[in-house]
Amino acid sequence: MTTNAFRLASIALGAGLVFGAFALPAFAAGDDSSTTPTCKKGEIYDQKTKKCVKQQGANVTDENRADYAYSLAKKDHRYAEALAVLDTMKNPNTAEALNYRGYATRKLGRTDEGISYYTKSVAMDPKYTLVREYLGEAYVIKGQMDLAKDQLKTIKALCGNTSCEEYRDLHAAIVNPSSL
């Protein structure tokens, strides 16, 4: 490859990396929280229209609201706003919404309150591995390693192995509690 051809290839690769980074917010509905665009306070990302809309009165599904709340909490660390979005749900008593409420309250330092939401979520869907991971992490925070390890065993049984993300993340938290 000539020097000029190499330079052109490098420039093209670099441009692809730069412009690719700007394309992240355009991902379709159903992607994880890391690809959901962040809206201004008081707005919610509508997966159907693919734009930010006013949180109150928006014709957005409860599932969309729960997913956006989780994105606010997980990606942007906007825990209080995530709780406010969850408060706008018509039916906030789903396994996912309770899990996300538990996550946001735990991250706000209200671990016992978070555990109460996690246990309600587990009661609704005992096979929901993400809530078991977060419940285990809450137990790690409280120093209740036996309960955290119980959640780890359950996740292993549900996943059928130790390679699923929920198992790996909870295992890492048990090994290194300061990571939480």
DSSP one-letter string for 78-120: -HHHHHHHHTT-S---SHHHHHHHHHHHHHTT-HHHHHHHHHH
8 Å CB contact between 121 and 131: yes
* Residue 96 pLDDT > 60: yes
Tell me what pLDDT residue 34 has.
57
* Residue 36 pLDDT > 80: no
**Burial of 9 from C-beta contacts in 10 A (0-12 / 13-18 / 19+):** exposed
The sign of the torsion formed by the CA atoms of 49, 53, 59, 64 equals positive
Tell me what pLDDT residue 4 has.
41
* Residue 161 pLDDT > 60: yes
**Full-model pTM:** 0.74
* Residue 46 pLDDT > 50: yes
Tell me what pLDDT residue 57 has.
63
* Residue 76 pLDDT > 70: yes
* Residue 60 pLDDT > 90: no
Report the range of poorest mean pLDDT among 44-53, 81-90, 118-127: 44-53
**Cβ atoms within 10 Å of 94's Cβ, excluding its own:** 16
The conformational region for residue 44 under phi > 0 = left, psi -120 to 50 = alpha, else beta, is beta
* Residue 177 pLDDT > 90: yes
Tell me what pLDDT residue 84 has.
93
Distance CA 105, CA 88 (A): 16
* Residue 173 pLDDT > 90: yes
Tell me what pLDDT residue 150 has.
98
Mean pLDDT score, 117-131: 98
